[in-house]
A and B are shown apart, each in its own frame.
Chain A
Amino acid sequence: MAVEKLKWFEMNNLPIRYKLIIHFLLISILPSLGLAVLINWTVDQIIEKQVNENTLQIIGKVNGTLESYASNMQNISYFIAFDPGVKRFLLGGEENREDDHYEIRKFLQGFTTLYSEIAGILVVNNRGAYISNEMYARYPSNLTEETWYRAAVEGKGIFKIIGHPRGRNVTTHVNYKDDEVISVVRAILDPDTQNVLGVVLIDLKLRVIAETVKDVRLGKSGYLAVIDEYGENIYSPARPIIAKLPKEWFRDGNSGTFSKRVDGKKLQFIYRKSAFTNWTTVGVFSTNDSTMEVREIRFYVVSFVFFVCLVGIAASFYLSYSISRPIGQLMSFMRKAEQGDLAIRYRGDRMDEVGMLGQSFNKMLMQINKLISHAELQERQKREAELRSLQAHIKPHFLYNTLDTIQWMARKKGAEDVAEVVESLSRLFRIGLSKGNDMIPLEEEFAHIHSYLTIQKVRYREKLQYTLNMAPETRRLSVLKVILQPLVENAIYHGIKERRGPGHVWVEAGVSGGRLILRVGDDGAGIPEDRLKALRQSLQAVFPADDGKAMKHALSGYGIINVQARLKLTFGDAFGIHIDSEAGQGTTVTITHPIIADARPEQNEQG
């Protein structure tokens, strides 16, 4: 199972089409995916860093604004202390002077005229008497007992931000609630004794702080909140992510960045402390909530990857198809050829490698066809010749056994000449059979001819003279069997027999020009010119034009054609028979035969 699975993954076993598709997809889509991931990561990093920096800067600006409000309040508290009317009031004495109070009220009204962010100003002296346009005690009790008064006294003339007033006995006429204002106080000291003469209380509307802070939008859903040094909320939005920011979180340093998991939400905090107001402005936003810019960039990147995928897939499919399809076609052609349909041809005008392969394939098929038909013809001719040879020799085989018997009987009876003829005849047949071998040593061929001529000599007596002349180096060379006998037969029947008086037949074997030359000559009648021409033509045309007919002719007397055909079939066109003849002078037939050394050991001819 595991091996099979492995095999499935093996690249080499995949069709080329899939290989190409995978290849193109890898090239086009993988880098773009990698690029997308990289861009995403980088953008995330950079923007997060920038957002943090920006947020810190914004917080710094917000702190600056808050400080300027606070320092404004501080200035006002000083300014109030400078007023001679206020001084008189603080020092006491003529407290009930209505006009004095009226003047102070007018004076204080000036501040609220100029600074609409002030909800109220209250001046209280160290005996608990107070003057204010907007504020008054809810119930008659000494205002010097109040916590804010004591805090101012502790500050010894230093401006102090109380934060949201809590449970104080002072209310504003226009009904500002405690969490709608921020209280600041400052004690006014006697410059000589450093005794506290009174306290200025100013209520600042939270609205101005809220407007400053609310204006800041961090990322998508982040916000700013302000807490004071005690961890009390100065400002937080209507629906904050986190209700209370513990001051412990913002202990280290004046500013910082950290993330925390709160109620299962991962939040990022960026804060900066203001030394003047002692407030910490905190930026809070969810870490999961990436900023708009990142989202937008991510959107473009995803769209780009999608586009690349779309184009890449189409392109890879098309490219792989365009490459693999002709290969597939060629393959199906080859398969058909493989199954035996050699007539099929690749058709296409492509000039690329596949086209060239197709052309080569066509050429190869043509070549194969030619070779096959050639081999078929050769094989058939060989078979037919063999068959004929067998047919010609099976009967003589029985005959030659009988002849052997006759020879022995003739010798017994003392008829030596009969015995000699019969023996020659018997040898003739034995060589003719030759155990079915195509090639025999020239020696044997000559022995065969000798037997043949011996028999013919008995018949023709003095009319036939013959000479056998074999060069000694040719004795052991192999030749096609029975190639001389038809020629000698022709020489006797058409040459010697037709002439008047005794004739002479000679057979020679020699080597010339790297070839074995066998020559059969006679001084017989010769061949008339026109017949010689026809004979030469038929010798020329013996192969491969008309095979069957030539063979038939050979059987019916034209043994020479048979020999020529066998030579050409066996050794090719370079070898064959040549006839020279002159009427009345005689005929010479020359066989050009390759030199083939006989590899076989000499053997006895045992029938």
Chain B
Amino acid sequence: MKKLLAIYALLIGAFLLYLFYYQMHDSKENPWDNQGLRGEIGEKYVMVTFQAGIDYWKSCLKGFEDAAQALNVSVEFRGSTQYDAHEEMTVLEQVIAKKPAGIALSAINPQMLNATIDKAVDAGIPVVLFDSGAPASKAYSFLGTDNFNAGATAARKMAELLDNKGEVAVITSVNQLNHQERTKGFQDTIVRSFPNMRVVAIKDGKGDRVASREAAQEIMAKHPNLAGIFVTEANGGVGVGEAARYDGKDKKMKIISFDTDKGTLDMVREGTISATLAQGTWNMGYWSLLFLFHLAHGMVQPTNKQTANPLPLYVDTGITVVTEENVDYYYAR
């Protein structure tokens, strides 16, 4: 009987050893996906914008892609082809129907998309907003430029360029909250801080180079003493630059633009545009995906938006004034 017990002990021991070995082997993860935060390649995060073709998003998308690379997840870029709120809503609906792991959204309009955003959040799809927000929606967070502050920065730079006096104008996209805020920041600062300055015109550039050029030409014709134009958007900046160049006022007219696309940078380098405001677009994309990843994996506390906000409600991705001196740093290397 003792012998039998010994044999059994031996057998069970051997089996346990095998089990242990099996478990050990099993838990030995794949050597190339066990470092740090790692998602699944099947996990798809979608970036939804409007006017999807414009260069501005490319930097955001690059940030989004870089984060995806770091986290081993997939990303997709979708957006309305036109500046069309209904089209963006349709695109967003389509994206939600595909049940992605998360959506980073740039809202064309602060109100129009609220219902759709809420629908996505209710369906358990995390949504964060970047660049232009929709404050009344259930989206978890907004990452973008503090536009009022950006407008104020532009106003101070304009005052510096014009020695605190003269007539200025603003060309903006009137329907977009971020552009409205930039305009408001600019206007308020001029009114409050620089009594010798005056905003004489605010025109809609429709986010388009040609439309902005025409708007600028119109203003310049109307206000011959115009000393400076603040353009809240990059395409418009290039258009205004072209308008100033045609008029031969390029050296006198101070133009402050927004963003750092190639055309704008070239104009800053040649002096047509005096300064431009660089947004942290790469950061918007990159941190949006990180936020979404954390939400999708339940790595934030609490995960329920009703009780408390799990993520910073607002993240300022910062702004930098680009002039002739530092423009070279903004070209691609």
Known: A221-B30, A238-B32. A313 touches B333 (CB 8 A): no
Q: Do A313 and B11 have beta carbons less than 8 Å apart?
A: yes
With a cutoff of 8 Å between Cβ atoms, the chain A residues found around residue B175 in the complex are none
Interface residue B320 (Cβ < 8 Å from any Cβ of A): no
Interface residue A175 (Cβ < 8 Å from any Cβ of B): yes
> B49-57, B114-122, B224-232: which lies at the A interface?
B49-57
How many residues on B have C-beta within 8 angstroms of the other chain's C-beta atoms? 42
Q: Do A313 and B55 have beta carbons less than 8 Å apart?
A: no
Q: Do B81 and A113 have beta carbons less than 8 Å apart?
A: yes
Docked CA distance A220–B78 (Å)? 34
Known: A102-B210, A173-B332. A313 touches B61 (CB 8 A): no
Q: Do B210 and A171 have beta carbons less than 8 Å apart?
A: no
Docked CA distance A172–B261 (Å)? 11
Docked CA distance A94–B81 (Å)? 30
A205 to B, closest residue via Cβ: B65
Q: Mark A173-208, 1 if CB is under 8 A from B, else 0.
A: 111100000000000000000000000000001010
> B69-77, B94-102, B155-163: which lies at the A interface?
B69-77
Interface residue A239 (Cβ < 8 Å from any Cβ of B): yes
Docked CA distance A176–B210 (Å)? 28
Docked CA distance A158–B190 (Å)? 59
Q: Do A98 and B242 have beta carbons less than 8 Å apart?
A: yes
With a cutoff of 8 Å between Cβ atoms, the chain B residues found around residue A215 in the complex are 41-42
Interface residue A408 (Cβ < 8 Å from any Cβ of B): no
With a cutoff of 8 Å between Cβ atoms, the chain B residues found around residue A314 in the complex are 4
Q: Do B55 and A113 have beta carbons less than 8 Å apart?
A: no
Q: Do B55 and A133 have beta carbons less than 8 Å apart?
A: yes
Interface residue B62 (Cβ < 8 Å from any Cβ of A): yes
Residue among B4, B11, B58, B242 making CB contact with A317, cutoff 8 Å: B4
Known: A214-B41, A317-B4. A174 touches B53 (CB 8 A): no
Interface residue A369 (Cβ < 8 Å from any Cβ of B): no
Known: A113-B81, A207-B69, A211-B41. A306 touches B62 (CB 8 A): no
With a cutoff of 8 Å between Cβ atoms, the chain A residues found around residue B133 in the complex are none
Q: Do B18 and A211 have beta carbons less than 8 Å apart?
A: no
Q: Do A116 and B61 have beta carbons less than 8 Å apart?
A: yes
B55 to A, closest residue via Cβ: A133
With a cutoff of 8 Å between Cβ atoms, the chain B residues found around residue A98 in the complex are 242
Interface residue A599 (Cβ < 8 Å from any Cβ of B): no
Within 8 A of A (CB), among B257-301: 261-262
Q: Do B79 and A211 have beta carbons less than 8 Å apart?
A: no
Residue among A113, A223, A239, A240 making CB contact with B52, cutoff 8 Å: A113
Q: Do A116 and B4 have beta carbons less than 8 Å apart?
A: no
With a cutoff of 8 Å between Cβ atoms, the chain B residues found around residue A214 in the complex are 41, 72
Residue among A174, A207, A306 making CB contact with B332, cutoff 8 Å: A174
Docked CA distance A343–B42 (Å)? 88
Known: A133-B55, A134-B55. A313 touches B65 (CB 8 A): no
Interface residue A109 (Cβ < 8 Å from any Cβ of B): yes
A571 to chain B, nearest CB (A): 61
Known: A102-B210, A113-B53, A220-B30. A175 touches B62 (CB 8 A): yes
Q: Do B262 and A109 have beta carbons less than 8 Å apart?
A: no
Q: Mark B13-55, 1 if CB is under 8 A from A, else 0.
A: 0110010001001100011100000000110000000001111
Interface residue B92 (Cβ < 8 Å from any Cβ of A): no
Within 8 A of B (CB), among A198-242: 205, 207, 210-211, 214-215, 217, 220-221, 223, 237-240
Known: A239-B31, A314-B4. A171 touches B333 (CB 8 A): yes
With a cutoff of 8 Å between Cβ atoms, the chain A residues found around residue B62 in the complex are 174-176
Q: Do A173 and B11 have beta carbons less than 8 Å apart?
A: no
Interface residue A534 (Cβ < 8 Å from any Cβ of B): no
With a cutoff of 8 Å between Cβ atoms, the chain B residues found around residue A217 in the complex are 30
A324 to chain B, nearest CB (A): 14
Within 8 A of B (CB), among A105-120: 109-110, 112-114, 116
With a cutoff of 8 Å between Cβ atoms, the chain A residues found around residue B41 in the complex are 211, 214-215
With a cutoff of 8 Å between Cβ atoms, the chain A residues found around residue B32 in the complex are 221, 223, 237-240
Interface residue A276 (Cβ < 8 Å from any Cβ of B): no
Q: Do A112 and B53 have beta carbons less than 8 Å apart?
A: yes
Residue among A237, A239, A306 making CB contact with B11, cutoff 8 Å: A306
With a cutoff of 8 Å between Cβ atoms, the chain B residues found around residue A175 in the complex are 62, 332-333
With a cutoff of 8 Å between Cβ atoms, the chain B residues found around residue A306 in the complex are 11, 14-15, 18
Known: A98-B242, A215-B41. A310 touches B333 (CB 8 A): no
Docked CA distance A302–B22 (Å)? 11
Docked CA distance A189–B65 (Å)? 36
A212 to chain B, nearest CB (A): 9
With a cutoff of 8 Å between Cβ atoms, the chain A residues found around residue B81 in the complex are 110, 113-114
Interface residue B123 (Cβ < 8 Å from any Cβ of A): no
Docked CA distance A211–B45 (Å)? 12
With a cutoff of 8 Å between Cβ atoms, the chain A residues found around residue B254 in the complex are none
Known: A113-B52, A176-B62, A302-B18. A171 touches B74 (CB 8 A): no
Interface residue A299 (Cβ < 8 Å from any Cβ of B): yes
Closest 9 CB pairs of A and B: A113-B53, A116-B77, A109-B53, A239-B32, A174-B58, A175-B332, A214-B41, A113-B52, A171-B332
B residues with a Cβ closer than 8 A to A are 4, 7-8, 11, 14-15, 18, 22, 25-26, 30-32, 41-42, 52-55, 58-59, 61-62, 65, 68-69, 72, 74-79, 81, 209-210, 242, 261-262, 331-333
Q: A112-B52, A313-B8 provided; 16 other pairs, C-beta below 8 A?
A: A102-B209, A113-B79, A114-B81, A116-B61, A116-B76, A173-B55, A173-B262, A174-B58, A174-B59, A207-B68, A214-B41, A221-B32, A295-B25, A306-B11, A306-B18, A317-B4
Subset of 14 A-B contacts with CB under 8 Å: A98-B242, A110-B53, A112-B58, A134-B58, A175-B333, A205-B65, A207-B65, A214-B72, A295-B25, A309-B11, A310-B8, A313-B4, A313-B8, A317-B4
